[in-house]
Amino acid sequence: MPGSRQPVPGSRQGQSQGRSLPSAGSIAASALLPLRLFAGFTFLYAGIDKIALDPTFLDLTSRTSILAQLQGYAHASPLAPLITAVAIPNAWLMGVLIALAEIAVGLGVLSGIAFRAAAWGGAGLSLLFFLTASWSVHPYYYGQDLPYGLGFVTLAIAGHGDLYVLGPWLDRQFFTVPRGRHAPAPAPVSAERRHLLHAGVLGLSAIVLAVVARPLHALLMPSSGAGLSSAGTAGTGASAQTGTGSSSASSGPAASSAAAAGGSNPLAIATTAAVVQAGAYGFQVPTAIGNAAPGDPGVVVSLGSGKFAAFDAVCTHAGCTVGFDPQAVMLVCPCHGAEFDPRNNGQPVAGPTNVPLTALPLSIQGGEITLRA
């Protein structure tokens, strides 16, 4: 319409449509910056970790792979029928899609490109993780996915407030603004076109980053190999876990740190007296034993009546290190609440896995507990 005012690409008016915090009665965009940075970086790292840094996540033969995790979720999640029918038969693809989605969410929230779509995507992923990875965590507030989800909902509602955003720069690259006094007025760019462009750039960036992450990591950190295991940490996102791990309060005192008793024998892990006194004793697995890898954290537990049991302490859900709860006499994972019974060969009794801990055969002689390799 002649005389009507149209938003110009790259102009303040054009930039802020639908993406700004309202100015009246609202908090400053800068107040949400810490949340935006934390949530964005965490999801970005979680996606890259799954696809490039953790060699076990997409290795379907690994007991901490996406397949093993999905099989664990299928026992307790309200989405069990869907997991069994769709996700498990396509576990590798699901793992890749989850990682890509996390990378896109992280990039979008950090850069401000397709910000609201990315934030709602983060909220949706967090809900998915809550219904699967965190569903068996009790009480619910030990799970990390609900807080992430609510954080993303907050960002999606508030918007980025035009603070540190790349959208206007992107618009200037793709939608040319005529320069000069006598230049014709630029044709209006529809919001749909801009949103489409932003979503396309975001998706493409996520794919490119996923493709180059592993070779880049190998190039920059050759000593760590192509993959750096994230075992022992509560990886982010439903290991998919986005989460950084929940409180370990429910697991009680962790097993004591390693202190083998055996002098020069690397397979001697503790004295019986020390384990009885502490309830459980931590050590480092000295050599490959069954599924246990050298360097894995191990734990030997006193079962009473002079009996002991030793296990690889790597949780079979997503690789966190289990701790010992002396009250319940259980090995408990602080990340998503898996519990393993040391009196029953490390069988899981709760949580998102149905795979037992790796039991380590041992022998006892002269008050010394020794692993049998």
Indicate whether 29 belongs to the interface with ligand FES (CB under 6 A): no
Tell me if 195 sits within 8 A of 284, measured CB to CB: no
Strand, helix or coil at 343?
helix
Indicate whether 351 belongs to the interface with ligand FES (CB under 6 A): yes
Q: How far is the CB of 308 from ligand FES (least distance, A)?
A: 23
Rank residues 346 and 352 by Cβ distance to ligand FES and give the closer one. 352
Element (H, E) at 269: strand 268-271
Indicate whether 50 belongs to the interface with ligand FES (CB under 6 A): no
Q: How far is the CB of 333 from ligand FES (least distance, A)?
A: 3
Rank residues 339 and 368 by Cβ distance to ligand FES and give the closer one. 339
Cα–Cα distance for residue pair 334/365, rounded to 1 Å? 33
Rank residues 310 and 335 by Cβ distance to ligand FES and give the closer one. 335
Rank residues 52 and 320 by Cβ distance to ligand FES and give the closer one. 320
Cα–Cα distance for residue pair 67/316, rounded to 1 Å? 12
Gyration radius of the chain over CA positions: 25
Rank residues 201 and 335 by Cβ distance to ligand FES and give the closer one. 335
Q: How far is the CB of 318 from ligand FES (least distance, A)?
A: 4
Rank residues 111 and 144 by Cβ distance to ligand FES and give the closer one. 144
Element (H, E) at 225: none
Report which residue type is found at 90.
N
Rank residues 14 and 334 by Cβ distance to ligand FES and give the closer one. 334
Whether the bond between 139 and the residue before it is cis, its omega within 30 degrees of 0, is: yes
Strand, helix or coil at 154?
helix
Q: How far is the CB of 68 from ligand FES (least distance, A)?
A: 11
Interface map 307-346 toward ligand FES (x if CB under 6 A): --------x-xxxx------------x-xxxx--------
β-strands 359-360, 339-341 pairing: unpaired
Q: How far is the CB of 81 from ligand FES (least distance, A)?
A: 22
Phi and psi of 107, rounded to 5°? -60, -45
* Tokens read off for 176: 């040319």
- Among left, alpha and beta (phi > 0; psi -120 to 50; other), residue 112 is left
Q: How far is the CB of 69 from ligand FES (least distance, A)?
A: 8
Contacts of 337 (CB under 8 A, 6+ apart): 136, 137, 138, 142, 143, 246, 250, 350, 351, 352
Q: How far is the CB of 351 from ligand FES (least distance, A)?
A: 5
Residues near ligand FES, by CB under 6 A = 315, 317-320, 333, 335-338, 351-352
